[in-house]
Amino acid sequence: MYALIAMALALSLLVVLLRLGVKLGRSMLLAAVALASLLRVTPSEFWQTVVHEWHDKPLSRTTGYLFVTLTALVILVNVLGSAMKETGVSQRLVPALQGLFRSRRLALAAIPMMMGLLPTPGGIMLSAPMVRDLGDHIGVDRARSAAINFFFRHQWEPVWPLFPAVPLIQSMFGISAFTLISHNLAITLAATCGGTIFLLLSGIPPRKPQARSGRRFAHNMRDFVGAFWPIAAVAALYAGLNLPPAVGIFLAIIAFLIFHKVPVSHWKPIFKSGLEPDFAFLILGALVFKLNLEAGEAIPAVVDFLSAMNVSKYFVIFFLPFIVGFLTGVTMPTVAITFPFLMPFVGTGQEARIGLETLAFSGLACGLLTTPVHLCLALSASYFEAPLMRIVVRVLGPVAFVAAAGALMAVFFG
């Protein structure tokens, strides 16, 4: 019980600091330090956790590696946005998207959904410049634009095999990929429906008469490809060569500048424009928060506390992944920690009641989509310059659809 209280207090401090106007990155770092104090994590214990991480995990999952690559990715995304403005590409992108999709709402949702197929930490920043520019052009409130980018970016995690949680769950319960994906698809469909109702059908200003583009399809496609190809190149390098997105986007920026014949003398101010120290504090704070949870053995303590309570199995199946996802803000560790505990409820092989697994994943999704420690949510608030809690409020309606989908699947297939 104490571990749960400690985590709640640390998150409360984060919210208070944000209300007081402290920058998001610094607030996150202070909340992580407060959590260490509350969980009585000593510097020695913290360091031992880091050392164990280096020994027991692949390099790509270690805190040091994630800090460097995620910070570089966020900064370089800013640099790419500056390069697009320098060359006029971003200004041509907005009318191109409106011409291609016709529906401005479809354009706002389609961009993060396409980018969401790239399963990389912090990858939400790949679609952020496009959504922000299009939203500003349309006149959408920044908090709503951030919510659209954040929410629609995360529609594929329950079903897309490139997200490591999907094959892990499949192997854990001994079920086929088709069985898992066909059941979890209910979450994606419900989330898309809820996002459309709460984020796209309201809050979008009426189309201006002059905003309707009369340009030809080929013209719009050329401008869209001109802005999208650096992102597509990053995805291709990641999927084809397993090249880290930070490295891929750096190469894409260089190629972009050369292609558009930007003078080398202009490169330095373009790269300098992406340097924002608070981004580094934000990523460091989120990663340290997670390390403190591991060092303080907080998650096992929460699991033990819930298992000792005499509550409905449906509540445990939903709430356990929800609370761990809310506290960590990361999918893979939540699955690894909580789903083994849920196996006696769900079953394995032909006896597995996959509707209960869908209920568990819906709880995980609800936790991830509402927690301030979710890196994508924090990055969205910072990049769109929108209050974090206003983004959370915007996604509560769609999140209710996700929870309802999980409940219905448990009733009919559990």
Mean pLDDT on 331-338? 76
Closest CA to 345 of 357, 358, 332, 333: 357
Task: For residue 286, give the amino acid letter.
Answer: A
The CA–CA distances, whole Å, from 324 to 11, 16, 73, 337 equal 13, 22, 26, 8
Q: Residues 59-78: what's their mean pLDDT?
A: 80
Q: Model-level pTM?
A: 0.71
Indicate the SS3 state at residue 197.
Answer: helix
Per the CB < 8 A criterion, the answer to whether 75 and 115 are in contact is no
Residue 210 has a pLDDT of: 52
Write the DSSP symbol of residue 410. H
For residue 135, with 0-12 CB atoms within 10 Å meaning exposed, 13-18 middle and 19 or more buried, which class applies?
buried
Domain spans of the chain, in order of start: 2-413
Q: What is the pLDDT of residues 87-117, one digit of tens each?
A: 888 777 767 776 777 788 888 998 888 878 7
DSSP string, 42-91: -HHHHHHHHHHHHHHS-GGGSHHHHHHHHHHHHHHHHHHHHHHHHHTHHH
User: Alpha-carbon distance 183 to 176, whole Å?
Assistant: 11
pLDDT digits (tens, 9 = 90+) for 380-413: 888 898 988 899 999 999 999 999 999 999 999 8
Q: Tell which residue, 365, 383, 277, has the closest CA to residue 325.
A: 365
Question: In sequence order, what are the residues at sequence separation of 6 or more whose Cβ sits closer than 8 angstroms to the Cβ of residue 202?
Answer: none
Helices and strands in the chain, H and E counts? 20, 0
User: Residue 199 has what pLDDT?
Assistant: 95
Cα dist. 368→86, 194, 198 in Å?
A: 36, 16, 18
pLDDT in tens, 173-224: 888 888 988 999 999 999 999 999 999 998 888 876 654 555 578 888 888 8
Which of the given ranges, 59-68, 90-99, 116-125, 370-379, has the highest pLDDT on average? 370-379
Return the amino acid letter for 120: T
